[in-house]
Amino acid sequence: MKSMSLNNSAAGSSPLQRINPVLIISTVLFISGGLLIFWSCFDGRFRNSENDFTGLVCLPVSAAIALLINGLTIRTEWRKAGFWFALALVGQAVSLQMINAGAGLRYQHYKSAGQIFAELSPVIWGFLIFQTILVIIGIGFLRNRLWNWGKANLRIWQVLLIAAFFLIPTATVSENVSFYIQEWLFAGFVQTINLGSLVLFAVSIPQAATGKLRKLTDKFFGNTKDEIEPGLPDRFALSLAVLVVIAAALLNIFSYERHPHVPDEVSYLTHARFFASGVLTMPAPVVPEAFEVYLMTYKGGEWFPAPPPGWSMMLAVGTFFGVPWLVNPLLAGLNLLLIYILLRELYPKRTARISVFLLVFSPWYLFLGMSFMTHIFALNCALLAAVGVAWARRTENSMWAWLGGLALGMIVLVRPLEAVAMAGLLGLWSIGFGGKRLKMSGVAGLILGSMIVGGLGLFYNAALTGKALEFPINAYTNALFGPNSNAYGFGPDRGMGWAIDPNPGHSPTDALINTNLNVSTLNTELFGWSIGAFLLIGVFFCLAKFQRSDYLMLAVIGVIYILHFFYYFSGGPDFSARYWFLMIVPLVVLTVRGIQLLAAKLKETSAVADVRLFAAIIALCLLTLINFIPWRAVDKYHNFRGMRPDVRYLAAKHNFGRSLVLVQGNQHPEYDSAFVYNPIDLRADAPVYAWDRDAATREKLLAAYADRPVWIIKSPSLTGRGFEVFEGPLSARDFLQTNDR
């Protein structure tokens, strides 16, 4: 009877009593995440006046993904890890909204406390407070474990050194020292809270899952053998290279809109069109002052770009096929393969694999791969040269040294100062520093190969300036900005008077300021990690027993740094520390070495602690993919520096045809944005875009192009929006009669 009573009781229970509350919560989280994404797509608060997304949209999207993650994990043993990962995800998204970055030409800074509380929603700063409380509570439960491990494994000097690597690069120097100190303290605090969230995620990974995670990481990255295994790219590297090409191409299409956004890029694209047409120069414009853009110069009635020719020659290949925007993405993929090949000559395969994996998620790498800048190709040449020397050393086949020499010579035609750095490094490496000496035929091949290609630059210089040793770029800057404005070394006459140059001239103090500017931007952009980029490099210096290959990596960093210490300009905020871009491989490798050394140290205490560390690194990469890269693409690089592709769309809409299009507004960025769509022959049967500089220039233009209809385009500085057609088509005579300007 008792059994029957129990059965009857169960059968008679209400449907509500049988509902699993965890299932309800999971469903609510999934529905809330979906609704949040839908809302963020259509709410006007996440768009600007032109209906483009702003960087703020990344916050609700990250919050939505956090809800979906919690909905997915709450019914599993991963619920705690899922919660801490979601907290780290939203925490980084919140911290990005506290940064003044944007599309202007400036270094990013955290907002002041007054701005944070006055300008930002309480949801943003309130979440930081909420995250801080939870992290403090969570770390409080771990404090004894963390303290005991640190006490047993690290000395005081090691802790201080790691803290220095972690905290010093967090803020960019400001003219206002008080603001800089406040920002540094706040940035360090935010970075520390995000580190705490990540630690709590790692320790919350279920013990039962660590075995599967180890198998996955070993399968993905390879085993932990220490042997060096030289080899060509495998399926792993090829797959990552394809991903890099796709990611950089998509960023160029959707963020950069296949349009240059830095004045230098306008010159490179124009230069590429010269080469694709088979010419070095073109006749100077009839009205030169109406076609004035940065780095375009004149000599003896000839018109040509001033930069070295190497990058534009490569860009001309894409220009010839109508896809110049695809050149850097393809080279970025090729670089990934070359990096993998080079690292397998120097390190075990696992180190090489983790290194190229991290590069796939590097904002510094991807956004330069998106651009029209020179740096990806310079790295390409440097890697080819290094691989050539490495193969010549291993195989004793001098042919590879010749290949390395030819690639080294090409750097001379792309970025001459980087060529000096690589020549010194590879020269020492080839004669036995850091490894086996090359045969004399190999050393000769390296030298002669570089001279053959690099020497072409002398003929190019002579053809354009009349002097083999006078670079067109220096002739241009000396004429426009004054003698020695682009010269190397210290002096009061260095510099071009740009607002982002710390002080007039160049001195050791300026060089140290440039160091801070570059290091602080790398802390953000090298990996896009919420914990900064240098913590694990600090771990490497504290725990490493230096290998020969480690010294090679440090030598690259040291030589690049020292050479640029004596150059007046840091490279500016365009694409992070771009003048230091050849450092990217050693910086990534030293980070990987830090990960591996810390993993080995952790494994001495716990058999699965190293797995938790690798899970944390992968989590950081996912945060970069979800948070940082979309935020940077939308907030900064869309319409970066005010340059926009509107003219391309207006030309298609209005069918300008063979016309004269007068662009009213500022020379930069507005006329630059239009100039790039000019034909290289300014008499061609195509639209000619001229800067409506002043009345006298306009009069000359109308006389020179009297046989063409005239259109007037107003620029964003005049419209408050994008470029707009104001008037046209009119004949030159009608224009003069109806426009009293």
Tell me if 593 sits within 8 A of 539, measured CB to CB: no
Cα–Cα nearest to 217, from 307, 350, 403: 350
Reported as a single tens digit per residue, the pLDDT across 116-134 is 999 999 999 999 999 999 9
Reported as a single tens digit per residue, the pLDDT across 680-699 is 999 999 999 999 999 999 99
Tell me if 570 sits within 8 A of 579, measured CB to CB: yes
Predicted pLDDT of residue 457: 94
Q: How confident is the model at residue 3 (pLDDT cuts 50, 70, 90)?
A: very low
Reported as a single tens digit per residue, the pLDDT across 483-528 is 999 999 999 999 888 888 888 899 999 999 999 999 999 999 999 9
Tell the residue number behind the tokens 């010579």, with chain if given: 409
pLDDT at 714 over 80: yes
Predicted pLDDT of residue 13: 56
pLDDT at 732 over 90: no
Q: If you average pLDDT over residues 260-284, what whole number do you get?
A: 95
What stretch of H or E contains 663? Answer: strand 660-664
Q: If you average pLDDT over residues 287-315, what whole number do you get?
A: 94
Predicted pLDDT of residue 737: 67
The fraction of the chain above a pLDDT of 70, given in percent, is 97
Residue 727 bridge partners (DSSP): 712
Tell me if 505 sits within 8 A of 598, measured CB to CB: no
Q: If you average pLDDT over residues 61-87, what whole number do you get?
A: 95
How far is 732 from 613, CA to CA, in rounded Å?
70
pLDDT at 404 over 70: yes
Contacts of 364 (CB under 8 A, 6+ apart): 522, 525, 526, 575, 576, 577, 581, 584
Predicted pLDDT of residue 300: 84
The alpha helices in 437-471, defined as continuous H runs, are: 440-454, 456-465
Tell the residue number behind the tokens 């004429």, with chain if given: 479
pLDDT at 6 over 90: no
How far is 223 from 559, CA to CA, in rounded Å?
33
Cα–Cα nearest to 543, from 147, 144, 162: 162
740's tokens: 């009293």
pLDDT at 733 over 80: no
Reported residue count of the chain is 741
Predicted pLDDT of residue 496: 87
pLDDT at 354 over 90: yes
Domain boundaries, the chain: 19-211, 212-373, 644-738
pLDDT at 253 over 70: yes
Predicted pLDDT of residue 20: 78
**How does DSSP classify residue 290?**
G
Q: If you average pLDDT over residues 55-67, what whole number do you get?
A: 95
Tell the residue number behind the tokens 């007037």, with chain if given: 712
Reported as a single tens digit per residue, the pLDDT across 628-663 is 999 999 999 999 999 999 999 999 999 999 999 999
Q: How confident is the model at residue 731 (pLDDT cuts 50, 70, 90)?
A: confident
Tell me if 540 sits within 8 A of 171, measured CB to CB: no
From 3-7, 534-538, 722-726, the region with the lowest mean pLDDT: 3-7
pLDDT at 226 over 90: no
Residue 491 bridge partners (DSSP): 506
Predicted pLDDT of residue 17: 55
From 572-576, 629-633, 688-692, 736-740, the region with the lowest mean pLDDT: 736-740
Predicted pLDDT of residue 224: 73
Cis bond leading into 363, ω under 30°?
Answer: no
Question: φ and ψ at 433, to 5 degrees?
Answer: -75, 120
Burial class from Cβ neighbours inside 10 Å (0-12, 13-18, 19+) for residue 206 reads: middle
Give the relative orientation of helices 363-370 and 375-395 as an angle to the nearest 10 degrees.
Answer: 110
Look at 734 and 24; give whichever has higher pLDDT: 24
- 3-class DSSP assignment, residue 37: helix
Q: What is the residue type of 690?
A: A
Cα–Cα nearest to 583, from 528, 502, 519: 519
pLDDT at 198 over 70: yes
Residue 228 bridge partners (DSSP): 348
Predicted pLDDT of residue 378: 97
Where on the phi/psi map is residue 391: left (φ > 0), alpha (ψ -120 to 50), or beta?
alpha
Burial class from Cβ neighbours inside 10 Å (0-12, 13-18, 19+) for residue 444 reads: middle
Predicted pLDDT of residue 159: 95
pLDDT at 8 over 50: no
Q: Count the neighbouring beta carbons within 10 Å of the beta carbon of residue 739.
A: 14
Predicted pLDDT of residue 652: 93
Predicted pLDDT of residue 738: 63
Contacts of 300 (CB under 8 A, 6+ apart): none
Predicted pLDDT of residue 154: 93
pTM score, whole prediction: 0.94
pLDDT at 740 over 80: no
